[in-house]
Amino acid sequence: MGDYEHLIVERHGPVGWLINNRPDALNAMNAKMRDEFADAWIELDRDPEVRVIVHTGAGRAFQTGVDVAEIASDGVGMQRYRESVEQWDLHFTSWHQQVWKPVITAVNGICCGGGFHWVADADIVIAASDAQFFDPHVSIGQVVSIEAIGLIRKMPAEAVMRMAFVGRHERMSAQRAYELGMISQVVDPPERLREEAQALAEKIAKNSPAAMAATKRALWGALETGLTEACRAGAGHLVSMWGHPDQEEGPRAFAEKRDAEWVPLEGTSESE
């Protein structure tokens, strides 16, 4: 781990950064990058110094999905991925990798097609004011499925359906994404995206890592089942913090008007 060809992994204070780094290919995901994602999420999740993770892209695109050029030229095509998809054995987003630290996706420039995986699977999404969202799958004879299934549970469905069916013939602006609640912040000028992402991540890093991990489990659980069952499961996550030192430290630090000293989160990846 730690040595990547198509990703950059950095640490700035308590914030781990995962940067898509194939700018010449608009950060399209080839097979190598796909494998590197699996490792990079685990590396950042296991690092106790990292409290929050920001995911962004280098260059004028955030992510543009599977590398179609590779698919078209390597003689294997999408068949390379058949087994992992059929077996539902994906490992390229933080959700796939069961990262329970907060994840912020910071969308620079173009986010299209498979790029929506990282919008759907992040906890928080912010975007540069010149970011653009579109889903060209059906325009090149591909099915829109997993990304949109996630999005449709997290935001108004009509907007997701429209993107799925209009394909490459229309783009959604960052402003519209903000209005719909797909993202929570538009950064203008766009050059300030990383600075704002770091500032937001540092706010989040002030909160209890253990409480945030349990909160994340409870809220993502809401997408899995009915409301009542999700609340029952949520009760388990709620109670999991009872007796944890952070529950004493939090109110004490608040009363004493100082930053809380939280217990570091143990590495939890893939331990479910």
Residues forming contacts to another protein in the complex (CB under 8 A) are: 102, 123-125, 153-156, 179-184, 200, 203-204, 206-208, 210-212, 214-216, 218-219, 221-223, 226-232, 234-235, 237-242, 244, 246-251, 254, 260, 262
Shortest distance, position 219 Cβ to another protein, whole Å? 5
Encode burial over 23-54: b for 16+ CB neighbours within 10 A, e otherwise: eebbbbbbeebbbbbebbbbbbbbeeebbbbb
Q: Tell me the pairing of strands 172-173 and 132-134.
A: antiparallel
Compare residues 5 and 248 and give the one whose CB is closer to another protein.
248
Compare residues 29 and 122 and give the one whose CB is closer to another protein.
122
Compare residues 25 and 205 and give the one whose CB is closer to another protein.
205
Q: Which two tokens stand for residue 261?
A: 């000293």
Compare residues 143 and 227 and give the one whose CB is closer to another protein.
227
Compare residues 81 and 178 and give the one whose CB is closer to another protein.
178
Shortest distance, position 190 Cβ to another protein, whole Å? 20
Shortest distance, position 194 Cβ to another protein, whole Å? 18
Residue 47 zone, left/alpha/beta (φ > 0; ψ -120 to 50; rest): beta
Shortest distance, position 172 Cβ to another protein, whole Å? 14
Shortest distance, position 261 Cβ to another protein, whole Å? 11
Shortest distance, position 262 Cβ to another protein, whole Å? 7
Shortest distance, position 217 Cβ to another protein, whole Å? 9
Closest by CA position to 47, among listed 7, 15, 94: 15
Shortest distance, position 120 Cβ to another protein, whole Å? 10
Compare residues 28 and 201 and give the one whose CB is closer to another protein.
201
| CA angle centred on 94, ends 34 and 37, rounded to 5° | 20
Compare residues 146 and 155 and give the one whose CB is closer to another protein.
155
Compare residues 70 and 123 and give the one whose CB is closer to another protein.
123
